[in-house]
Amino acid sequence: MGMGNPLLDISAEVGQDILDKYDVKMDNAILAEEKHVPIYKELVDNHSPQFIAGGATQNSIRVAQWIMTANGKSGQSAYMGCVGTDQFGKQLEECAAADGVKVHYMKDESTPTGTCAVLVKGGERSLIANLAAANNFKPSHLETAESKSIYESASVYYIAGFFLTVSVDSLKIVAEHALANNKTFCLNLSAPFIIDFFGDQVATALEYADYLFCNESEAAAYGKKHGLGDDLKEVALKIAASPKKNTVKPRTVIFTQGSESTIVACNGKVEAHAVQPLPKEQLVDTNGAGDAFVGGFLASLLAEKDVSKCVDAGHWAARFIIQQSGCTLSKPCEYKL
């Protein structure tokens, strides 16, 4: 089960002029400020964008279910978040359902569904999220009978760090359930701004994490903020050894590094798992690569595979997604768990 910020991606190829105009960097993710508001209309009016179901956690759950469905395990996933009662919300629900995910959205009649501007240049991406309704998820949604039956029947939970700006109380309800029942709780640090500006929320969530995911820029930001040095293998080991509520199972820390090796740390040991490079001409865009990695990893984890097999599934899923525009699952999955 995933819980996060459901967003409709408005994805377009742009030039450096747009990046400069809105003061954004490639391979980064930020929340929209006042100065970014016009970009959504500008993309629609001038850049023939694609509208793609997004939101980091929702992407990961869709990819995990896509892989599980291909391996004879349909209907094994669920997702919660908050949307508006508009066309975009309906589009998100239809897309997730088409991928076999049970969605149980909280619906906010007064606020539009959130959107994310995905600026693609040379295969790299920059994200500007306008959370809108996604920002209004409340713990009360988890008190409904349907929500309870969903999260109580799950065995693995995944929440991206982006949700830490929305409702830490909701995260704690799910994380406490996982802890009390010795289930698996997974967290992603998601973006450098989460680490830099939501440190207390990250610290709260991290104590519950049995698996922690992030990419190299987030790992570096965490290492810098907490004085852990700049050797990412050391940073991974230190995060793996940091305080944890469930002492029955050790924490596994996974740092993806694009086409460089993925770092995995657990129980005082650290390994690097090589990534099979993709020829540059086959790269469409990197939007959703990290989400897809987590999706592959989670599908393999649910199939009770060891961590190296989970990483392999993650690499395969990320490699598939970067050959698509955004997190689109255009054909049946060929990966065998």
**From the candidates 86, 291, 306, 312, which is the catalytic residue?**
291
Q: Respond yes or no: is residue 312 known to be catalytic.
A: no
Question: How many Å from the N-terminal Cα to the C-terminal Cα in the chain?
Answer: 19
Distances (CA, A) of 188 to 56, 91, 101, 281, 284: 9, 25, 20, 29, 24
Strand residue runs (E) in the chain: 2-3, 7-13, 28-31, 50-54, 78-80, 82-84, 102-103, 106-108, 114-121, 124-130, 156-160, 184-188, 211-215, 252-257, 260-266, 269-273
Distances (CA, A) of 197 to 120, 187, 203, 328: 26, 17, 12, 31
Residue 101 CB neighbours (<10 A): 25
Q: How far apart are CA 142 and CA 130, in angstroms?
A: 24
Q: 259: which 2 tokens?
A: 């086409």
> Which residues carry out catalysis?
291
